[in-house]
Structures are given as C-alpha cells and as structure tokens.
Amino acid sequence: MNETARLRRRLLEPRLERFIGVIYRPITELQSHYAEASLPQQFDAFLWFDETHAVGPLGPEHRPIGVPDTYPFGL
C-alpha cells in the first residue's frame, strides 16, 4: 500500500470532533459537545498549521466613520 492510500485510510477513521458554541455541561460533555467525524467525508480540504498565535484587536483607525463601537451587536 502506498503512502497516499495509507494516509487516506487513517484519515477515514472516525474521530471525535468538538462542537463550537455549546453550553458547557460537564455531566454530558461527551454526548453534548462531541460527534464522530471522518475528515475526508466531511471536508474537501484539510489544513494543518504547526504554529499559530492569538489575534489582536484592530485599532480605531480600522473602524468605519459613523459606526458605533458595538456594531454589529448594538450593546
């Protein structure tokens, strides 16, 4: 079996995918926060970043004139 076929077989294996934006409930965390997923069956492409860093807020020079600070939330 060549390397590509071996990689595809490994990526097809179901693995846990964590949901985003769920209410945290420790008692039901596994059932309510995760589902089994197969990357090649769910996505057309997969990117891996070896290193990332946190984003920072944009300064006031990037805010359109006349738009309130709380746009689009209106708080």
Report pLDDT for 1.
80
Mean per-residue pLDDT of the chain:
84
Residue 66 has pLDDT above 80, yes or no: no
Query: Can you name the residues that pair with 37 across neighbouring β-strands?
Result: 15
Residue 65 has pLDDT above 90, yes or no: no
Domain ranges (residues) in the chain: 14-45
How far apart (Å, rounded) are the C-alpha atoms in residues 2 and 8?
A: 10
Structure tokens at 62: 């990037």
How far apart (Å, rounded) are the C-alpha atoms in residues 46 and 34?
A: 19
Report pLDDT for 71.
60
pTM: 0.47
> Please, which pLDDT band fits residue 75 given cuts at 50, 70 and 90?
low
Cβ atoms of residues 11 and 42 within 8 Å: no
